[in-house]
Amino acid sequence: MDATYHVLCEEGYAGLTMRAIAAEAGTSKSLIHYHFDTKEELLLTFLERFLDRLDEWLVEIESETDDPEARLLAFVDRFVVQPADADRQAFWRAVLELRLQAAHQEGFREQLKANNDAIRSALASIIADGIEDGTFREVDPETTADLVLDALEGARTRQATLGPEEAPLTAREAVREHVLDDLVREE
Amino acid sequence: MDATYHVLCEEGYAGLTMRAIAAEAGTSKSLIHYHFDTKEELLLTFLERFLDRLDEWLVEIESETDDPEARLLAFVDRFVVQPADADRQAFWRAVLELRLQAAHQEGFREQLKANNDAIRSALASIIADGIEDGTFREVDPETTADLVLDALEGARTRQATLGPEEAPLTAREAVREHVLDDLVREE
Amino acid sequence: MDATYHVLCEEGYAGLTMRAIAAEAGTSKSLIHYHFDTKEELLLTFLERFLDRLDEWLVEIESETDDPEARLLAFVDRFVVQPADADRQAFWRAVLELRLQAAHQEGFREQLKANNDAIRSALASIIADGIEDGTFREVDPETTADLVLDALEGARTRQATLGPEEAPLTAREAVREHVLDDLVREE
Amino acid sequence: MDATYHVLCEEGYAGLTMRAIAAEAGTSKSLIHYHFDTKEELLLTFLERFLDRLDEWLVEIESETDDPEARLLAFVDRFVVQPADADRQAFWRAVLELRLQAAHQEGFREQLKANNDAIRSALASIIADGIEDGTFREVDPETTADLVLDALEGARTRQATLGPEEAPLTAREAVREHVLDDLVREE
DNA sequence: CATGAATGAGGGTTCATTCAT
DNA sequence: AATGAATGAACCCTCATTCAT
C-alpha cells in the first residue's frame, strides 16, 4: 500500500504498473499477485484505505471547535494543498487520475460515492448547525456544501493541469469572501 | 479527428489507442501515422482544434446581450452539461482525462494555459464591466472568475467520477445564488 | 542516384530508406518507384554505376607512368582513404555495408564478382609486367594481388568498425615495406 | 544466446529480429525481453561472450609451442575459415555485419576496440619474441601485426561478399610467403 | 509466503510498396 | 512524369497475469 502511494505520487497514474509497485516495495510482482488477485483489486483496496483515512480526518474537525464559522474554515483547509507541498500536490493529482480512470468500474464508483456523500454531509451539517444557531443565514445546506466542495476540487484540478500552485489558496480566499461572508452577512 | 473524438467519448483516454482510432475511422494505423508523425502530435492537434472551438464559443456571448448579469449567466451555461446529454458528458470527462495525462508534456501545457487564460479573462471582463456600470458591487474580478470556473469544473468532475448527472445544474444554481445574487445585492 | 549516395554517406545503410532518398532528392517516394520498381533494383543500379566509376578510375593509372613500382604504389593509393576525408570514409563504410547486406542476392553477387575480378587482374597485370621487365622477383601475381587488396580492405574495415582513422595509411606503409620492398629486393 | 548465434548465421544481421530469435529458441519475445531489457543489451551480451571466447582461444596458442614461426602460423590459422565449414563462414560474415551496424553505438565500440587491441598485441608480442631471439629480422611488430590481421580480415570479407570459399586459404599462403618468409630471410 | 521464468495481447512506430489521380 | 493517400507486415517493447518451485 505504501509502495502504491509512493509510485502514484512519483510516477502518476500512467506509471502505476505492477512492476513499479513491486520495485518500490522491494518485492516481486508475483507476491503482489499472491495478495491481490488482480491489479483492480489492489487499487480498490488502496482507494478504500485512502478514503477511510479521509473520513477519520474529517471527524477530527468536530473536536476542534464549536464555532460554525471556524469549523467551516477548518473544513475547507483540509482540502487546500499548500503551494510548497509538492508531494501532496502530486498525490491529489494522482488520486484525481485514479478516480477518473476507475470511474467506469463498478466497485470503485460505490466507494467514491459513499466517501463523497460522507464528506458532503459532514460539511452540510456544519452549515446546518450554523443556520440553526443563527450564525448563518438560511440557505440550502447541501447546495452550499456542493458549491464549496466543487470549487475546491476545481481549484485542485486547475493546479494539477495548469500548474498555478497557488490555485487552492486563492480558491480558499474566494470561498471565504463569497460564501462565508455571504452566509454571515446578516449578522 | 472525428474518430479521435468518438473513441475518446466511448472508450476514455485509456482506450484511445492508435488501433482504436484507426478502426473507428475505418482506416489503418499507418495512415494515421502518415498524417501525424506521432500520437502526441495527433492529440496535440486534436486538443488545439477543440480549444479553438471553445474560444469561438465564448465570443458569441458578447453579441447576445449587453446586460452583465445576463452575460454572466450565459457564460456559465456554456460550461454546464445537461444531464440528458450523455455524449457531451462523456466528452468532458474524456477531455479532463486528456488534460490530466498530458499535463506534464510541454506542448500541451502551453495550449491548456493559453486557453484557460482566455476563458478566465473573458469572464473577468464581464464581471469588470458589471462593476463599472454599477450592476455589480466591487469585487476582484479575477478572483471571482476563478471561483465560478473552479466550481463548474469541480461539478463536471463530480459528474464524471460519481455520476450525479445533475451536478452541473445544481452548481449553476449555487453559483447563481451565492455569487451572482451576492454581486447584485447592493442594488 | 546522387541522393542515394548522400544518404548512404550521411545515414549509413541502416538509414538508407526510400523516404530518406526521396527527401534528399527533393521528390516523392512514388516517383522513385516509378523509375525503379523495387528498392533492390535501385540499389542494383546504384552499385552498377559506382563500380563502373571504379573501373574507369583504375584505367587512369596506366596512363600515368610506366614504372611498375610507381604503378603499384599509385594503385594502392586509390584504395587508401585519407584520415581527414570523413566523407569518403563514410562512403566506403556504407559500401561495405551494402556489399555485405546484398551479398546473398543473386544480381549483386555477379556484379561484385565482376568488379572484383577487374580490380584484381588490373593489379595482377601490373605485378606481372614488373616481373617480366625484371623489376620484381618471381612471384605469383594473383596471390600477391589478393594479399594487397585484402590488406587494404581489412584496413578499411578496421577503420570503419574501430575508428582508427590512420588505419589505411599504416596499411599502405606496411604493404610498401613487406610486399613492395620484398618484390624489388633482388635488385 | 545459442538462438542468437543460429539466427545470425542463417538469416544474417538483417534477419536478426527478436521474433526470429524467440522462434529459434522456442520461446516468446517477451521472455527474451525479460532477460535482456533491450535488443541492444542482448546483442551486447552476445558480442561480449563471443569476444571472450576469442580471447581464450588466443591464449591456447602460447601453450602449444615455443617456436615463434610456428606460433605465428598457428595464430594465423585461428582466423582462417576452412572452405568446407559453411557454418563458420556464415558466422564470420554475420559478425562482420554486426560489427559494422553496431559500430556507432557506444558500448559496442569499446568492446570491439578492447578485443581488437588484445588480438593485435598478442600477435605483436609473438613477433617481438621472434625478433628478440633472432628468429625474425628487425621490423616494427605492431605494423606487421596489423598487416597480417588486415589481410586476414580482408580475405574473410572477400569470402563473405563474393563467395570464393578458398579466399582465407590463399590469404594464409600469401601471408606465409610475403610476411613470414620475409621475416626469417636473414636466417 | 515468496520467487524467477514464462506468456499473449497489445502498445506506438516504420517500412517498402501500391493505387488513384 | 509525378504526386499524396493508403496499406499490411513487421519492428521493438511493455503490460498484467500465470506457473512451477
Rounded distance between C-alpha atoms, residue A55 and residue C158, angstroms:
71
Contacts of A151 in chain B (CB under 8 A): 147, 150-151, 154
Question: What is the pLDDT at residue C16?
Answer: 94
Tens of pLDDT along A57-70? 888 887 888 888 89
Name residue A128's amino acid. A
Total residue count of chain A as it appears in this document:
187
Of B58 and D47, the one with more pLDDT: D47
> How distant is the Cα of A33 from the closest Cα of chain B, in angstroms?
22
How far is the CA of C171 from the CAs of C81, C122, C163, in angstroms?
Answer: 11, 20, 14
Residues of chain C contacting D, Cβ within 8 Å: 12-14, 93, 96-97, 99-101, 103-104, 109, 112-113, 116, 139, 143-144, 146-147, 149-155, 157-158, 160-163, 167, 170-171, 173-175, 177-179, 182
- Angle among Cα C52, C53, C55 to the nearest 5 degrees reads 65
- pLDDT 10s digits, B94-137: 888 888 887 778 788 888 888 899 999 999 999 999 999 988 98
Closest residue, by C-alpha, to the C1' of E18 = C30
Q: With b meaning 16 or more CB within 10 Å and e meaning fewer, what string describes D140-149?
A: bbbbbbbbbb
Q: Which of A32, A34, A25, A26 is nearest to A6 (CA)?
A: A25
Q: What CATH class has D38-183?
A: mainly alpha
Here the cell at position A178 is 463569497
Say which of D99, D158, D178 has its CB closest to residue C153: D158
Q: How far is the CA of A19 from the C1' of F21 (A)?
A: 21
The H or E element containing residue A79 is: none
Distance CA C151, CA C174 (A): 9
Nearest CA in chain D to C172: D147
For residue D167, list chain C residues with Cβ-Cβ distance below 8 A: 146, 150
Q: Using the beta-carbon criterion (under 8 Å), do D100 and C154 form an inter-chain contact?
A: no
Out of A100, A143, A154, closest to residue B153 by CB: A154
Cell of B126: 464581464
Give the one of C144, C162, C175 whose C-beta lies nearest to D113's C-beta. C162
Predicted confidence band of residue D85 (pLDDT cuts 50, 70, 90): confident
Q: Which nucleotides of E are covered by protein (CB under 7 A)?
A: 1-20
User: Measured in angstroms, what separates residue D39's CA from nucleotide E1's C1'?
Assistant: 34
Nearest in space to D169 (alpha carbons), one of D83, D93, D111: D83
Better-predicted residue by pLDDT, D50 or D18: D18
Whether residue B100 and residue A93 make contact (CB cut-off 8 A), yes or no, is yes
Q: Which residue is nearest to nucleotide E15 (CA to C1')?
A: C17
Mean pLDDT of all residues belonging to chain C: 88
Classify domain B48-184 by CATH number: 1.10.357.10
B147 closest CB neighbour out of A13, A161, A174:
A174
Between chain A and chain B, how many beta carbons pairs sit less than 8 Å apart? Answer: 139
Going by C-alpha positions, the residue among A2, A9, D100, A141 that lies closest to residue C156 is: D100
C3 within 8 A of C24, measured Cβ to Cβ: yes
CA distance C148 to D150: 10
Closest amino acid to nucleotide F18 (CA–C1'): A30
DSSP state letter for B13? G
Q: Where are the domains of chain B?
A: 1-35, 48-184
Write out pLDDT tens, residues D127-167: 999 999 989 989 999 999 999 999 999 999 998 888 777 88
- The four Cα atoms C89, C93, C99, C100 give a dihedral, to 10 degrees, of 160
pLDDT confidence bin for B187, thresholds 50/70/90: very low
For residue B14, list chain A residues with Cβ-Cβ distance below 8 A: 101
What would the CATH number be for the domain defined by A66-184?
1.10.357.10
CA B143, B156, A119, A58 dihedral sign is negative
Q: What is the pLDDT of residues A156-186, one digit of tens each?
A: 999 888 877 788 888 899 888 888 888 876 5
In this structure, the number of other CB atoms found within 10 A of the CB of residue C70 comes to 13
Residue B126: name the closest of B135, B114, B117 by CA. Answer: B135
Spell out the alpha helix ranges (H) of A65-140. Answer: 68-78, 86-102, 106-132
Task: List chains touching A (3+ CB pairs under 8 A).
Answer: B
Torsion of CA D158, D154, D76, D61, to 10 degrees: -110
CA dihedral A108, A109, A111, A112 (to 10 degrees): 110
Burial class (CB in 10 A: 0-12, 13-18, 19+), D24: middle
Q: What grid cell was written down for D44?
A: 551486447
pLDDT given at position D187:
43
Distance from C-alpha of C111 to C-alpha of C108, rounded to nearest angstrom: 5
The DSSP call for residue D83 is: T
d(CA A151, CA B170): 13
Task: List the chains bordering chain D where 3 or more Cβ pairs fall under 8 Å.
Answer: C
Q: Note the CA–C1' distance, A113 to E8, in angstroms.
A: 36
CATH of domain B1-35: 1.10.10
Q: Which residue from C minimizes the CA distance to D116?
A: C162
Q: What is the model's pLDDT at position A186?
A: 53
| pLDDT-derived band at A187, boundaries 50, 70, 90 | very low
**Which residue, D91, D62, D90, D88, is CA-closest to D75?**
D62
**pLDDT one-digit tens code per residue, D96-121:** 888 888 777 888 888 888 889 999 99
Cβ pairs C/D, distance under 8 A: 139
Residues B65, B70, B71: CA angle, nearest 5 degrees = 65
Q: D and A: touch, per 3+ CB pairs < 8 A?
A: no
Q: How far is A23 from chain B (nearest CA, A)?
A: 23
pLDDT at C81 > cutoff 90: no
Q: Does residue C174 have a pLDDT over 50?
A: yes
The helix or strand, by DSSP H or E, that contains position D142, with its residue range, turns out to be helix D141-162
**What is the distance between the alpha carbons of residues B17 and B38, in angstroms, rounded to a whole number?**
12
* CB nearest to B147's CB, from A109, A113, A171: A171
Q: Give the pLDDT score at A185.
A: 65
Closest-CA residue to C130 (of C68, C61, C65): C68
Are B131 and B49 in contact by the 8 Å Cβ rule? The answer is no
- pLDDT of residue A91 exceeding 90, the answer is no
For A93-114, give one letter per residue: b (16+ CB within 10 A) or e.
Answer: bbbbbbbbbbbbeeebbebbee
pLDDT of residue C185: 66
Categorize the per-residue pLDDT at B145 as very low, low, confident or very high, splitting at 50, 70 and 90: very high
Using a pLDDT cut of 70, give the percent of chain C over it: 98
State whether the beta carbon of C27 lies below 7 angstroms from any atom of strand F.
yes
Residues of A with CB under 8 A from a CB of B: 12-14, 93, 96-97, 99-101, 103-104, 109, 112-113, 116, 139, 143-144, 146-147, 149-155, 157-158, 160-163, 167, 170-171, 173-175, 177-179, 182
| Number of continuous H segments (helices) and E segments (strands) in chain A | 10, 0
Q: Which CATH number is C49-183 given? A: 1.10.357.10
Residue B141 predicted with pLDDT over 90: yes
Name the pLDDT band for C186 (thresholds 50, 70, 90). low
User: For A68-84, what is the mean pLDDT?
Assistant: 88
Residues of D with CB under 8 A from a CB of C: 12-14, 93, 96-97, 99-101, 103-104, 109, 112-113, 116, 139, 143-144, 146-147, 149-155, 157-158, 160-163, 167, 170-171, 173-175, 177-179, 182
Distance A91 CA to F18 C1' (A): 32
Q: What's the DSSP call for residue B85?
A: -
Residue with cell 588466443: D58
Q: Among residues A31, A132, A152, which one has the least CA distance to residue A80?
A: A152
Q: CB–CB of C13/C98 below 8 Å?
A: yes
Instruction: Name the one residue in this structure whose C-alpha cell is 559494422.
Output: D100
Q: Does residue D39 approach strand F to less than 7 Å at its CB?
A: yes
Handedness of CA D142, D148, D153, D157 (dihedral sign): positive
The whole-number pLDDT of residue C187 equals 43
Whole-number pLDDT of residue D23 = 95
Question: Which residue do the cell numbers 447546495 mark?
Answer: A143
Taking CA atoms, what residue in D is nearest to C140?
D174
Write out pLDDT tens, residues B65-102: 888 889 999 889 888 888 888 888 888 888 888 888 87
Mean pLDDT over the full length of chain B? 88
For the segment C27-41, the average pLDDT, to the nearest whole number, is 95
DSSP C36: S
Evaluate whether A46 touches A1 at the Cβ level (below 8 Å). yes
Between CA B31 and CA B36 the distance in angstroms is: 9
Residue D77 has pLDDT above 60, yes or no: yes
Indicate if the pLDDT at residue D29 is higher than 90: yes
Place of cell 613487406: C178
Judged by C1' against the alpha carbon of C29, the nearest nucleotide is: F3
Contacts of A94 in chain B (CB under 8 A): none
- Mutation test of the interface with chain A: which of B39, B157, B170, B173, choosing the one with the most A Cβ atoms within 10 A? B157
Task: Write out the three cell numbers for A186.
Answer: 446578516
Q: Which chain A residues are closer than 8 Å to B161 by Cβ?
A: 99-100, 103, 112
CB A180 within 8 A of CB B178: no
Comparing CB atoms, the residue among C112, C150, C167 nearest residue D151 is: C150
